[in-house]
Structure 1
Amino acid sequence: MAAQKRDVPQNINEEYYQISSEILSSFPKYRPPVDLFSFREDICVLAPYCRKGDRLSNAQVEEVAQLCADGSLFVSRSDHPIYSRHIVKQLDLVLQDRNLKEAEIVDICIRALVMRYSEFYAQPVKLLFDPLYRDLMVVTEYIFEDKHRIAGFVRRLFRVHEPARHALNCLNVGLWLWMQSVSEMRRKDLDKVALALLLHDIGMSKVPAFVVNKKGPLKQEERDKVVQHPILGVKIMQKVDISFEELIRACFEHHERLDSSGYPQHEPGSRISRIGRLTAVVDSFSAMIMDKPYGEKHEPAEAARELAQDNRYEPDFTKPLMAAFAAQTFGQLIDMDGNLEVPE
């Protein structure tokens, strides 16, 4: 359990994090990566305890642990970049540290998923899928506790194309749309939809980079490679022994269109699943708002409006998306590309 907060002055709570025992135990034992401060109850101020990188003695290690247990150990919010990069690698800590602000938790979650997805995309094997799945379950637990938290994720959109960033855009926007369409949100459904949205495009990891990054029109043989990626995605997920219905449908159907003009099967709308229709909308929306080697980047509201006017996409999803961006439901959007730090 996290240490209880002491009754400290509000300005201290605003400028410092109180460190929980879980967070402290995740730091290097003798060389904390952040400046540490101890609370002086007699004069109600924080006093510097040690500077980041300083080596602690055995006695200091024990004293730090006791200060933490007493709720008297703090770190400055100016060290947030270091603090957040550390927690990114142990994402479950965000559920235990009640001192993090909601915006900070969302940023940390997004960075963690970008890191895990990038690793799995580079080498799609079970060993690298497991940490991605574990971190995604942390995110769905966080959202399940309060469904309104999803707005904070949608507020943070990537505008520069890269596979993990595209996947995160689709996950965040797709979860919001799905949550608007269900009368009751069950945790097991949330987990399945989240995994399907995040991994729907994983087949692109098997498409040669020179094709993915090519500027201008593709040759027919290059287009044939791209057209195969939904099938490749299904095969990847079956190979890592994750092949439930929603995930398979999302992988296979996200380029199908209601008028049968999509691929790989040219399925009519009556044969495309609901998760397939949802994934098609968010996949196209994300592609439209991102800088990429081909095509023109749209502003989110413009992209949502164009999709709502396109009868190839499911209106149950495009119309709420257009209405949300027209009404600025998510408030001021944050471009994550200008403020993204993924740990090495």
Structure 2
Amino acid sequence: MNTSSNNDSAQEKFYPVSTGVFRVLPKSRPPFSLYMYDRHLGDFKPVSEPGKVIVSSEKERIYKACESGMVYISSKDLQACEPYLSTHLKIVLEDLADSLSAVELAPLILSSMETLIAPLFKESVKLNFERFNEAVPALIETLEQNPAILEHILGRLEREHSLTNKALATGFTGLAVCMLGRETKTDMQTLLHCAYALFLCDIGLCRLPDFVLGKEFSLTVDEQKRIKHHPILSLEILTATKAIPKPSLIAILEHHERLDGSGYPRGASGDSISWIGKLCGAVDSFVAMIMDRPGKRSMSRVNALKTLYRESSMYDPNIIYALEKVMLKD
């Protein structure tokens, strides 16, 4: 629940700060204020000041007030809080999601997921997977309750190609297909399986040299073989976590398979490809087409969808139709 102020700004709203949120906010010269509601004034009164250290005695008092639900943060300060909240997505979703609007949650969620996904591609899956893994169920629960968040996230996705940007675009676009594009409701367990597969299907590419991934001209035969091996690398890397559901692992292996058998790595076809595998394949292809890459001009959404329809023997037409509903909603 959020509360509006009676002061000079009718647009200013205040959101309750839980003990969990207070823990992750900076206490040394925070760039925002915290507030308590003053019943005598009938308005919110600051209990901390921007740029001023919150000393131990004040910290204890504010913490106890948070336990009673008496501490708030202004809507004007949400952007200043974003760098601190973005590293604790699970806390944000559990403690703030009910208070914030879809418009306010979208940048927080996108920034948080970038913070969680980038180290998986740039550093180490083994060292960084746990934080990502604990946030995914909370993310899916929040999006399932308020799928409108996805509409605001899609408009914020980066078009410049990088492994992180593509993972974010594939993940959120695919979840939008599931939650906003399909006629039938996708159950929570399937959504969770889709999330792991969509966000992580290209994780095997992190083992390839940068000069191959960023090459502006045609790949050599050897380089093509290495690229086509990445679904297997993704499977190997993620199986080692012992945390990815089996349907997600299968879909990750299948995300470059095609209905007509022309895909890789196994040349699977038709119904031998799982539905999540078909989803990942269509969305991954669409996102690759609309992203800016070295030596390759991006397509518009419309032209990318036309390409998928022309190649209808390769992709599930129901998924393409659902993708069209999401991408061309306006």
Q: Tell me the TM-score normalized by structure 2.
A: 0.87
Unaligned 5+ segments in structure 1 are 329-344
The answer for the alignment partner of 1:75 in structure 2 is 73
The answer for the alignment partner of 2:125 in structure 1 is 125
Give 1:46 shift: 4.1
Q: 1:13 to 1:226 in 2, by over 3 A?
A: farther
The answer for the alignment partner of 2:33 in structure 1 is 35
1:226 aligns with 2:227: yes
The answer for the alignment partner of 2:95 in structure 1 is 96
Asked if the contact 2:87/2:116 (under 8 Å) is kept, the reply is: no
Give 1:79 shift: 2.8
Matches of residues 306-321 of structure 1 in structure 2 within 5 Å?
Answer: 306-311=307-312, 312-321=314-323
Asked if the contact 2:120/2:129 (under 8 Å) is kept, the reply is: yes
Deviates most, 207-216 or 99-108: 99-108
The answer for the alignment partner of 1:9 in structure 2 is 6
Deviates most, 121-130 or 31-40: 31-40
1:200 aligns with 2:197: no
1:264 aligns with 2:265: yes
Q: 1:67 to 1:252 in 2, by over 3 A?
A: closer
1:61 aligns with 2:59: yes
Q: Please give the secondary structure, in 2, of the residue aligned with 1:185.
A: coil
The answer for the alignment partner of 1:303 in structure 2 is 304
1:145 aligns with 2:145: yes
Q: 1:156 to 1:11 in 2, by over 3 A?
A: farther
Moved over 6 A (4+): none
Asked if the contact 1:211/1:222 (under 8 Å) is kept, the reply is: yes
Asked if the contact 2:34/2:47 (under 8 Å) is kept, the reply is: yes
Give 1:229 shift: 0.5
Which whole-Å CA distance do the structure 2 matches of 1:100 and 1:278 have between them?
30
Matches of residues 156-167 of structure 1 in structure 2 within 5 Å?
Answer: 156-167=156-167
Which whole-Å CA distance do the structure 1 matches of 2:244 and 2:81 have between them?
36
The answer for the alignment partner of 2:242 in structure 1 is 241
Give 1:101 shift: 2.4
Deviations 1:298-331 (A, max 9, x none): 1223312321222222111112222443342xxx
Asked if the contact 1:113/1:136 (under 8 Å) is kept, the reply is: no
Q: RCO higher in 1 or 2 (8 Å CA, sep ≥ 6)?
A: 1
Unaligned 5+ segments in structure 2 are none
Give 1:165 shift: 1.4
Asked if the contact 1:119/1:128 (under 8 Å) is kept, the reply is: yes
Q: Please give the secondary structure, in 1, of the residue aligned with 2:257.
A: coil
Q: Please give the secondary structure, in 1, of the residue aligned with 2:140.
A: helix
Give 1:211 shift: 0.2
Deviations 1:152-198 (A, max 9, x none): 33343321111121111111121222344473432222211111111
Q: 1:35 to 1:304 in 2, by over 3 A?
A: same
Deviates most, 284-293 or 88-97: 88-97
Which whole-Å CA distance do the structure 2 matches of 1:135 and 1:13 have between them?
34
Q: Which residue identity lines up with residue 174 of structure 1 in the other structure? A: G
Which whole-Å CA distance do the structure 2 matches of 1:245 and 1:304 have between them?
30
Which whole-Å CA distance do the structure 2 matches of 1:318 and 1:244 have between them?
25
Count of matched residue positions in the alignment of Structure 1 and Structure 2 = 325
Give 1:104 shift: 1.9
Alignment RMSD, CA only?
A: 2.7
Give 1:135 shift: 1.5
Deviates most, 288-297 or 48-57: 48-57
Asked if the contact 2:258/2:315 (under 8 Å) is kept, the reply is: yes
Deviates most, 101-110 or 206-215: 101-110
Give 1:151 shift: 3.1
Q: Please give the secondary structure, in 2, of the residue aligned with 1:287.
A: helix
Q: Which residue identity lines up with residue 109 of structure 1 in the other structure? A: I
Q: 1:114 to 1:259 in 2, by over 3 A?
A: same
Q: Which residue identity lines up with residue 95 of structure 2 in the other structure? A: Q
Give 1:30 shift: 5.8
